[in-house]
Amino acid sequence: MRTGLPILLLSFLGLACGKTSVDVRAAGAHDAGGNTGGSGGATGGGPTGGSLGGTGAVGELSKVDLTGSPIFSRVQRLTNSQWENAVTDILLLPRPSRLAANFVAPLSGVTPFDNDELVLFVDQKGFSDFESGAEAAAAMATGSPAALAALSAGDDAAGLVRVLGRRAFRRPLTADEETKYQDVFALGERLYGAGFANGAALVIRAMLQSPHFLYRTELGPAGGPLTPFELAAKLSFALLGTTPSEELLDAAAAGQLASDDQLVAAARQMLEDPRALSVMRDFHGQLLRVPALASLSKPGVKEFDPAINSELVLASNAFFDLVFGHNGGLRELLTSNQAYVGPGLAPFYGVAAPAAGLELHDVGPSRAGYFMQVPFLMRFGPDAEPDSIERGLLLEGSILCGPHLVPIVNIPAWPQLNPGQTNRQRVSAVTESCGGACHRLFNPLGFAFEDFDGLGRKRDLDNGVPVDTKASYPLAEGVAPFVDGKDLMRVLADSPQVHTCYAKQVTGYALGRELIESDRPLLESLGKVSGTQSLKELIVALVRAPAFRTRKDGQP
């Protein structure tokens, strides 16, 4: 088939999708997850050679930061993974096509999550990706009798257009659209030869490049309710990462998503779907920078083998799956004594290694939650030394939603330890003169983990001196002291600020936008749910909220 033809067809159909762009903040700006760059975490202090400066008194910095810059887009582009999943489901492909694997990725380090409206614009490379992806998907769906039979029973062009159009556009086609796409079908047979496959392929190519497929829309009046089909699409993409099922579209058509009970029932059913597990795995992975574990390197550290990297990722994801799948929430994420251990991780935990794969182990009593598991501690530990600043910075940004931080460059090289000097003493000596109130926030959080080295192993001495893990943090509800990392996790698990922050992260990911001050009442309400209930219940509470069900009254 000829490359480029569907673009001309879309113009002919009056459905052409021009380039869409938005202004984004400069790459490297601090995001709501505490990151100042790509997946590798902040350009932070300590052995990584950077520092961060903040503004305001410490007491003013403790409140959950809501200084985002949303544009409240009415048309939000599908992410690459959503495109992949939707194409698979629309065309009834037997397995994911992997066609989106080489699509251009969103700008990293600009927004908290890669599904944010600010980074889902379409440039020339993205335009070409969607064109070539549509062509390849059409070839897969019509390239064999079995694939074509799965897509359409018979040779009814009008029926194919109607059924495929509803799946692709997530609503019934208008009469005018049906006529135009039937003309596209006929054009395919004229151009490439008589045969149902040729007509069907051109229809698929055109539909998958239409803005009605590539963008999820909320076009109702500001502050008004979403249409049933808009709500079905929003719910399905937010919870399952893919286009609505035939059953959900039927429910929308029948007016069965109008009441709270109906909407919540649909959400609860989705949350038990294995695809919801994958969506929440992606959420936690982005929030806690799990992809960076795949490229972890510690040159010169004989105890470290890069072969462990894949196990670090798998163990992290398995833990997130455990929390979500067993109706846990943030409290379990912070305080669970269980962790997944494989042959590579076992020596660092000091437990017996399984013959293969991962096993769930009780790794207490000195560890609690993900931040005290080996993957996190090893990730934020240059060589075999702990990186207190990076550990504290990610914890503060992702779980406490601290203030916007500005990268500071040209920081002197990190000094070697003096005889009898601990890592904590060195960090304190270097950062106390930087002038930034921010270090008084995240340094103490990192110090809580001083009894774990850069490989995540438990230790009692640092440079021959007993480690000191005692510190305090100025939570919004008051200064909270803690004696070590496990005590800190207990403090955080009981903190309203922390649960409000987690609600912010979940909400921002689900809505695909940054949060602002007017969202605070919603987030504080959701935070109360998080404090006593599961992540699933937090998501259900969000689905009930007007912020999910209505068009936000913000900048169009």
CB contact at 8 A, 237 and 78? yes
Segment 151-169 shows an average pLDDT of 92
pLDDT for 488: 98
pLDDT at 406: 59
d(CA 514, CA 501): 13
Q: Above 50 in pLDDT, residue 44?
A: no
User: Would you tell me how many other CB atoms lie within 10 Å of the CB of residue 143?
Assistant: 13
143: amino acid identity, one letter: G
Q: Which two tokens stand for residue 266?
A: 């649909």
Distance CA 378, CA 452 (A): 9
Q: What is the mean pLDDT of the segment spanning 350-364?
A: 93
Average pLDDT over residues 332-351: 97
User: Would you place residue 417 in the very low, low, confident or very high pLDDT band (cuts 50, 70, 90)?
Assistant: confident
* Each residue's pLDDT tens digit, 168-180: 999 999 999 999 9
Strand (E) positions, 286-371? 338-341, 359-362
| Residue 270 contacts residue 235 (beta carbons within 8 Å) | yes
Gap between the Cα atoms of 304 and 529, Å rounded: 41
Say whether pLDDT at 408 is over 70: no
Cα distance between residue 343 and residue 23, in whole Å: 47
Phi/psi at 465 (nearest 5 deg)?
Answer: -115, 140
- Count CB-CB contacts under 10 A for residue 327: 13
The per-residue pLDDT for 5 is 35
Q: How far apart are CA 531 and CA 554, in angstroms?
A: 29
The larger pLDDT score, comparing residue 37 to residue 257, is at: 257
Q: Which residue has the tokens 């269980």?
A: 338
Quick: pLDDT tens for 524-536: 999 999 999 999 9
Token duo for residue 554: 């913000």
342 vs 303, 365, 455, 512, CA distance in Å?
Answer: 16, 19, 15, 35
Q: What percent of the chain has pLDDT over 90?
A: 73
Q: How far apart are CA 201 and CA 216, in angstroms?
A: 23
When pLDDT is averaged across residues 409-423 and rounded to a whole number, the result is 78
Please state, for a pLDDT cut of 70, what percent of the chain lies above it: 85
Question: Is a pLDDT exceeding 90 seen at residue 196?
Answer: yes
Altogether, the residues listed in the chain come to a count of 556
pLDDT for position 216? 96
15 pLDDT exceeds 50? no
Q: Is the predicted pLDDT of residue 412 greater than 90, yes or no? A: no
- The answer to whether the CB of 298 falls within 8 A of the CB of 283 is no
Q: Alpha helix (H) ranges present in 433-555? A: 439-447, 485-493, 496-511, 520-532, 535-544, 546-549
DSSP 369: S
Instruction: Indicate the pLDDT class of residue 140, thresholds 50, 70 and 90.
Output: very high
Summarize the confidence of residues 191-210 as an average pLDDT. 95
Q: What is the model's pLDDT at position 258?
A: 87
The answer to whether 50 touches 44, Cβ cutoff 8 Å, is: yes
CB 41 within 8 A of CB 289: yes
Averaged pLDDT score across all residues of the chain: 86
pLDDT of 37: 31
Rounded to a whole number, what is the distance in angstroms from the first to the last CA of the chain?
A: 39
Checking if the pLDDT of 36 tops 80, the result is no
Confidence of residue 185 (pLDDT cuts 50, 70, 90): very high
Answer whether residue 59 shows pLDDT above 60: no
